[in-house]
Amino acid sequence: MHPALLMFIAARHVEQRVLAALREAGHDLTLAQARLLARVPEDGIRLTQLAESAQVTKQTAGFLVDQVEKAGYVERVPDPTDARARLVMVGPRGRQAQKVARTIERRIEREWAEHLGPDRLRLVTDALSDLRQITDPFL
Amino acid sequence: MHPALLMFIAARHVEQRVLAALREAGHDLTLAQARLLARVPEDGIRLTQLAESAQVTKQTAGFLVDQVEKAGYVERVPDPTDARARLVMVGPRGRQAQKVARTIERRIEREWAEHLGPDRLRLVTDALSDLRQITDPFL
DNA sequence: CTCACTTGGTAAGATTCCCTGACCAAATAT
DNA sequence: ATATTTGGTCAGGGAATCTTACCAAGTGAG
């Protein structure tokens, strides 16, 4: 079985667990919204960069940001360095959601460490980090 | 960075490469169609099982099968063991597409082996196979 | 300074994907 | 026989995404 398919399976599992945990915590985010929110850094990001990072068009990113903005997860503030641009910033509610996500992610990581053994998991993580150089178009 | 996100990045990269290769070979499949087609085994599969395997509803699977059937990638034949059911079988065109996909997949695997070293890649693949036991809802 | 070009973003419209709920027909179990 | 399960379709709608086109602010060259 191709490693990429195995990665897909594991990654999908995590996404679903995270999404479920968010819902349980009262955050009714769609998958696409959650993926976007996950990529908004603490110090804000421009829509165009966000789109690039999430691998969607600017229009799609704008559409999704509109939604999570309306729901109170992010805010758009003027970019002080460029009058055309605005920065998408994580709001309080978004920060709380990110915290929920990180918590369940850590739990899953512990599960994986138990299942594989911590050193094997570390090997996998390291290898995947290396792999990123030839698989991540964003960097 | 969470291993699952790294997996997501790598898996997405492969999907896009495969999709591009398919397009180049004249197969104009959408992502969802390709994902489905990838799960149709040589000896056929029932729609319900296909849906389960691809993690979509029966309706979605039926919708997608309709499309790839119209485009000549699969055929629906009566299931000899159950008069209600039909088997989705890979057609000649579908087999050709699968071949294209497997070729590019092998190429990517070689790239990864070069980048990581063959033994590290094998460690990763083995670990991911083990991980499947706790991440694959289908098995 | 001004004119072309780039960059950040929005608008409109269509398509694709996928879901829920309801339903039917064949098979299986009691 | 009747009830339940299993395989599948139909109808309708919502979410995500794309393409094409556009506008407005910044940037660079002459």
> pLDDT, tens digit, for every residue of A38-67?
999 999 999 999 999 999 999 999 999 999
- B13 in Cβ contact with A137 (< 8 Å): yes
Residues 88-117 of B with CB under 7 A from strand C: none
Q: Which of B92, B86, B102 is nearest to B45 (CA)?
A: B86
A127–B120: do the CB atoms touch at under 8 Å? yes
Please give the pLDDT value at position B59: 95
Which pLDDT tens digit goes with each residue over A60-101?
A: 999 999 999 999 999 999 999 999 999 999 999 999 999 999
Please give the pLDDT value at position B139: 75
The CA dihedral of B82, B85, B88, B91, to the nearest 10 degrees, is: 70
Q: pLDDT tens string for chain B (139 positions)?
A: 899 999 999 999 999 999 999 999 999 999 999 999 999 999 999 999 999 999 999 999 999 999 999 999 999 999 999 999 999 999 999 999 999 999 999 999 999 999 999 999 999 999 999 999 999 887 7
- State which nucleotides on strand C lie below 7 Å from a protein beta carbon: 7-13, 16-21, 25-28
- In whole angstroms, give the CA distance from residue A50 to residue A31: 16
For residue B7, CA distances in Å to A120, A132, B51 come to: 15, 9, 23
Considering only CB atoms, which chain B residues are within 8 Å of A131? 6, 10, 112, 115-116
- Nearest chain B Cα distance for residue A127, angstroms: 7
> Domains in chain B, please, with CATH?
10-135 (1.10.10.10)
B134–A123: do the CB atoms touch at under 8 Å? no
Residue of chain B minimizing CA distance to A35: B5
Which pLDDT tens digit goes with each residue over B61-97?
A: 999 999 999 999 999 999 999 999 999 999 999 999 9
Proximity of residue B82 CB to strand C below 7 A: yes
